[in-house]
Structure 1
Amino acid sequence: MTTIAVLGASGQIGRSLVALLAARGDTVLGIVRSPERVVEIDALGGRGVLLDVEHATAAQLAAALGGADAVVFAAGAGAGSGAERKRTVDLGGSVLLARAAALAGIARYVQISAAGIDQPAAADADPSWAAYVEAKREADERLRATALDWTILRPGPLTDVRGTGLVALTAVADGGPVPRADVAALVVACLDEPASIGAQWWVAGGGEPVARAVHRAARLLAEAS
């Protein structure tokens, strides 16, 4: 049985991920910031862990990881949050989790990022959106610079439609709309596929079954290296 720690477990993708992992028998540590969220994670079959990462140290987060075999960054400040929280959550949370994982001796790290972040936002873009783009881009850059066994997933626009179990993965900027449920399933498939370590994939809906898509993309990555 594997233990997976999920930062951002109370988000829409996070909840789906907790449920998927718990259903197959994994121990899931869902790191959340309020007691109400702890109850939600427990109801999904996970183990809610109360910790506010915006005010925690790397050592505190490392202790909360509880001997996990892998960590997943699924957090985000969310719509309506200001530019400052994009820095403290979307960037700061990712960096803190990487530091904590290293302290705890956990190598495996899967990060849910976003497509369309390699270029700066337009000069007339909403400041919150510009901050989001910058935070996500820097979070990916800083994770790639670590010695962790990382995988970065960059989905296009997220939708709430029922998951199809199909995704398309590319190594170039080509993310398209994709159901949140399918992104959660993709994280599980990446955790199961060691060859996905070191991969940064753009994600769109459709394509082929998730596990097959990961296997194919990992094979293409190996052939190109």
Structure 2
Amino acid sequence: MNVLVAGSHGQVGRHATRLLAESDHAVRGMVRAESQATDIDDLGAEPVVADLTGDVSHAVEGIDAIIFAAGSAGEDVWGVDRDGAINLIDEAEAESIDRFVMLSSIGVDRPEDGPEEMHEYLRAKAEADEYLRESDLTDTIVRPGPLTDEDGTGRIRTGTDLAEDDAEIPREDVSRTLVATLGAETTRGETFEIAAGDEPIEAALRESLDE
């Protein structure tokens, strides 16, 4: 499978790009600046320079699936986190790409319950998630709890109403989950939250989401 990682230079995106490069998948890493291309090449992926707020049609050519791990880090939540995602979803539909995996966030369904400084970000992500669900793409929306830089364990727990204050998860395990969804039939058309846990990722996706 030829997979495009949008936001491949970010912390989660780097892990996902590396994992895909180490797998049987072919991976293209989408970056915003030419100066970032060498880093993606070093991860074993094909770099492609494209801005989510502009023309991304060349980035999706020949692609079978997309992992959206991009983000504005709070600098332009409406332009990147919402509209950038929508732009890529539209291009995926135009290119007849079926599979789209979205990195979202816990709390998206209840932004008013989160910290005030996160309200706009969560609302922007909620609109992007909804746009994806209403598209013709086969979607999976993964909503992790607060991210940490600890080494991944390869184990998670899933749910639809996890307590945010008990839902921390290493970025590496988020990336492993995003990659694992590509081959997990039970994740197709599903939206779910993840946190650090005791269940191996593949088993958690296969068993927990099949209940």
Q: TM-score, normalised by structure 1?
A: 0.88
**Contact between 1:8 and 1:14, CA under 8 Å: does it hold in 2?**
yes
Distance 2:114 2:154 in 1: 37
Per the TM alignment, residue 124 of structure 1 is displaced from its structure 2 partner at its CA by: 8.4
Could you tell me how far apart the structure 2 residues matched to 1:186 and 1:120 are? 23
User: Is 1:36 aligned to 2:31, yes or no?
Assistant: no
* 2:124 is equivalent to residue 135 of structure 1: yes
2:134 — aligned with what?
145
Q: 1:47 to 1:93 in 2, by over 3 A?
A: same
Offset, 1:117 = 1.8
1:45-86 alpha-carbon deviations (Å, 9 max, x no partner): 0011011112x13xxx2332121110011011115x2xxx10
2:185 to 177, 184, 194: 194
Structure 1: runs of 5 or more not aligned: 221-225
1:219 Cα deviation after fit? 1.4
| Structure 1 residue 18 corresponds to structure 2 residue 17 | yes
1:130 shift after superposition: 2.1
Separation in 1, partners of 2:61, 2:131? 24
Deviations 1:133-176 (A, max 9, x none): 11011111111111110000000000000000001011334451
Name stretches of at least 5 consecutive residues in structure 2 with no aligned partner: none
Give the 5 Å matches for 1:97-136.
97-121=88-112, 125-126=116-117, 129-136=118-125
Task: Check 1:105–1:159 CA distance in 2 against 1; reply closer, same or farther (3 A cut).
Answer: same
Letter in 1 for 2:20: L
Determine which of 172, 179, 187 is the counterpart of 2:161.
Answer: 172
Residue in 2 that maps onto 1:162: 151
Between the two proteins, the alignment pairs up a number of residues equal to: 209
Counterpart for residue 73 of structure 1: 68
From the superposition, tell whether residues 197 and 181 of structure 1 become closer, same or farther in structure 2 (CA, over 3 Å): same
Task: Report the identity percentage.
Answer: 35
Contact 1:174 1:203 in 2 (8 A): no
- 1:102-126 C-alpha deviation (Å, 9 max, x unpaired): 0111010000000012123369823
Query: Does the Cα contact within 8 Å between 1:166 and 1:207 map onto a contact in 2?
Result: yes
Letter in 2 for 1:198: G
Query: How many angstroms apart in 1 are the aligned matches of 2:35 and 2:132?
Result: 30
2:57 is matched with 62
Q: What TM-score comes out, normalization by structure 2 length?
A: 0.94
Once residues 164 and 124 of structure 1 are traced to their aligned partners in structure 2, the CA distance between those partners, rounded to angstroms, is 28
Question: In 1, are the aligned partners of 2:52 and 2:85 still within 8 Å (CA)?
Answer: no
Amino acid at match of 2:52: V
